[in-house]
Structure 1
Amino acid sequence: MGRFNSVTGTAVGKISKAIFYRLNGQDVVRGIGDKKKFKSKKVFAQHDSMRLLMNFFSKIKPFIRVGFKNEATGTIRNYHNLATAYNRTHAIAFEDDVPFIRYDKVLLSRGHALPPQHASVSTTPEGLTFSWEVMPDLPWSTNQDQTMILAWFPDMNEALFNIGGTGRLSGTDHLNVPPALLSERMEIYFAFVSADRESVSNSIYLGTLNG
């Protein structure tokens, strides 16, 4: 049963079909939906799509935490909410009600920093080498940005990543990959983040290796 807080002038708890509570210093209310006995095939497909995305994110949580935390600042949402909302809308597709991830549409970081320019990735005996164009005359603060690089192995349900790599001015970075994994299918992502983690670029997709 809900109650009224005379100090803040707000309700707290369940009242009728709504729940009132505090989140990140803000007053929030959410409705309580009616339960239905039967769920359609499309509803189950939506649930499957969420499980698919959550499985992906569970392996790369530190990466998306850095990638979306600034977007969540000052809102009642957290980094995981924002990453999920964007990618569920843009990166999940269905074939005969079976969900799959469109890796070329996945966004693992979101912000206003300059993204990698003319970037590419190649394999070496030790792993992956990332290269990009070093832009001239950038502000000093931008030149201090560091790489965020990630390889996702969808057939193995595993990921390798680094969220504090070389500086923007270096023009190259390397992600170590065990030899046994170098022939596996990989989905590759790249972004930049400031040294203080207060600014990040949108991630870019560098394609599939061993597809």
Structure 2
Amino acid sequence: MGILSGGPNSGFSGKAGSFVGYYRLGKWVIRGIPRLSAKNKKGSPDQKVSRSRFTQVQSFLKHIMPFIRIGFHLEARRKGNTAHNSASSWNLLNAFNDNGELDYSKTRVSSGILEGAQNASAQHVDGKIIFTWDDNSSYTDSGKRIVPEWLDQVMLLAYQVKYPSMVMISSGARRSAGSDSLEIPGVKGEWHTWIAFVSDDRQYISNSEYLGIVNI
């Protein structure tokens, strides 16, 4: 059943016949409901690969959405879509190995033009993951990326796949500090780690960098 939200001349939300209406990014959207043939429901080999990739990406993003909403916010604003859609699109195109498996080393959890971390690493110390990096603050524009400032704040993410868990910082230490940490709860195993930076005024963000697996 579709519901008119603002009278007969407004958009509607819900299902009406073969159409679905909803409000997205300040606009009313109406979409037709696809009708799949028996063949399409089963899926061709290529369709099965695409569906598998889609499922893997959605499962990954679902567990780290608080980070994605920040990490892809500026990219989404530039494209006029959502952070989730921008992250899904990028990772579907770039984050898989030749066997069609999600390769976490190729994933991106933030996207932007700010200079990223330099010589960053992550390691386990006393129940924490310690992140370190070189202070690459500069006041000389390279002409390719926004100048990294000492005030930029680090963004850290750790993700556990086996028992899906996430720990993050979206406004951590300054770039000039050279280190910060994430305190990991009592979930042992392999934690995938990423680092990025966001400018102090939140107008620029860097691409994330995957730092590998930390065993706890």
Output the TM-score relative to the length of structure 2. 0.76
Does structure 1 residue 158 correspond to structure 2 residue 161? no
Of 68, 71, 80 in structure 2, the residue corresponding to residue 67 of structure 1 is 71
Describe the shift of the 1:177–1:194 C-alpha distance in structure 2 as closer, same or farther (beyond 3 A).
same
**CA positional deviation for 1:40:** 2.5
Letter in 2 for 1:40: G
Q: CA deviation at 1:199?
A: 1.3
How far has the Cα of 1:29 moved from its partner? 8.4
Residue 147, structure 1, aligned to residue 126, structure 2: no
Other-structure match for 1:3: none
Residue number among 170, 173, 178 corresponding to 2:180 in the alignment? 173
CA contact (8 A) 2:137 2:148 kept: no
Spell out, residue by residue over 1:19-49, the C-alpha distance to the aligned partner (whole angstroms, 9 max, x if none): 9998545797877755221232532332232
Alignment of structure 1 residues 57-206 onto 2, 5 Å? 57-93=61-97, 95=99, 99-138=100-139, 142-178=149-185, 180-181=187-188, 184-206=189-211
Tell me, yes or no, if the aligned pair for 1:120 and 1:130 is still in contact at 8 Å. yes
Q: Which residue of 2 aligns with 1:9?
A: none
Partner of 1:8: none
Matched residues in 2 for 1:72 and 1:169: separation? 28
Q: Deviations over 1:70-109 (max 9, x none)?
A: 11215331111110000011113463xxx42101110000
1:191: Cα distance to partner?
0.3
| Contact 1:125/1:179 (8 A) holds in 2 | no
Mean Cα deviation higher: 31-40 or 143-152: 31-40
Query: In structure 2, how many angstroms separate the alpha carbons of the residues matched to 1:205 and 1:75?
Result: 24
User: Equivalent residue of 1:150, what SS?
Assistant: strand
Q: Secondary structure at the match of 2:113?
A: coil
Structure 1 spans left out of the alignment, 5+ residues? 1-11
Query: Where does the alignment leave 5 or more consecutive residues of structure 2 unmatched?
Result: 1-10, 13-17, 141-146
Distance 2:111 2:205 in 1: 7
The runs of 4+ residues in structure 1 deviating greater than 3 Å are 17-34, 136-141
Contact 1:127 1:179 in 2 (8 A): no
1:192 match: secondary structure: strand
Q: How many residues align?
A: 195
Aligned-pair distance for 1:149? 0.6
How do 1:2-17 residues align onto structure 2 when only pairs under 5 Å count? none
User: How far, CA to CA, are the matches of 1:37 and 1:93 in structure 2?
Assistant: 30
**Please, what TM-score do these two structures have when normalized by structure 1?**
0.77
